[in-house]
Chain A
Amino acid sequence: MDTRDEMMRRILAALPDAQVTLSDMTGGGDHWEGQVVSASFAGQSRITRYRAVYAALGDLMPIRVHAFTFKALTPAEAGE
C-alpha cells in the first residue's frame, strides 16, 4: 500500500468521521502536509488533537513519514 493510502487508512481507523487531505511536499513520499477535520476535535486542546493524529499514524513516523505538517480542525473551524 502506498504511503498516502496507508496514512489515510490509519487516520480514518482512529477518526472515522475525518475529512483528510494529504499532499506530498517533495514527491518523495516522506514529507507530507495536509489537514485533518474531525468533529471529535471539538473541545480538545491543540496538543490533544495532534497527539490523536500522531497516535493514529503510529509507526509510520518517523521512518516512512519523516515529516507531516498539518492542521487539526473541527468542521466549524474548517468553515464547513
Chain B
Amino acid sequence: MDQPTRDRIHRMVTTYPVMLFMKGTPEEPRCGFSAKVAQILKYQGTRFASYDVLADPMVREGIKEYGQWPTIPQLYVNGELVGGSDIISELFESGELADVLGKAGPMPEPAQS
C-alpha cells in the first residue's frame, strides 16, 4: 500500500468514531456480509460513516493490510478494528456490541459547503 492510501484510511478511521468499510453502501450493499453489518449498525441506532471499497481499488486492497484482516467488511471504532461480519454478528447476538459502540466518540458534523 502506498503512503497516500495509508494516510487516507488512517484519516477516515480517526475522523469517524464508527467507520465501516464495505462493498456498496448501507442503502445499496453489494455483498451479503457487508449488508449484515450495516443492518446491525442501523438496528443499534448508531451513527456511522461508511466507505464503498468497490469504488476505490486502492482502499479495497489497502484496508486489508491496514487492518491486518483479509476480508471486507471491516468495522473500526475509535480507530481500532473491531472485526468483520462474524465478529460483529457475535457481539450483536451477545449484547456486547452496544457497549463497544457506546465507547465511540461523537460523530463529526458534516462540513458546511
Say which size band chain B's interface belongs to.
10 to 19
B3 sits at the interface (CB 8 A): no
| B78-104 CB contacts (< 8 Å) to partner A | 81-87, 90-91
Q: Which residues of B contact A78 (CB under 8 A)?
A: none
Contacting B83 at CB < 8 Å: which of A50, A62, A69? A50
Q: Which residues of A contact B71 (CB under 8 A)?
A: 54, 61-62, 67
Q: Which residues of A contact B86 (CB under 8 A)?
A: 50, 69-71
| A39-66 CB contacts (< 8 Å) to partner B | 46-47, 50-51, 54, 61-62
In the bound assembly, the distance between CA atoms of A69 and B68 in angstroms comes to 17
In the bound assembly, the distance between CA atoms of A71 and B71 in angstroms comes to 15
Q: Which residues of A contact B69 (CB under 8 A)?
A: 50-51, 54
In the bound assembly, the distance between CA atoms of A45 and B64 in angstroms comes to 19
The 9 closest A-B pairs by CB, nearest first: A46-B87, A54-B70, A61-B70, A69-B86, A47-B83, A46-B83, A70-B86, A62-B70, A51-B68
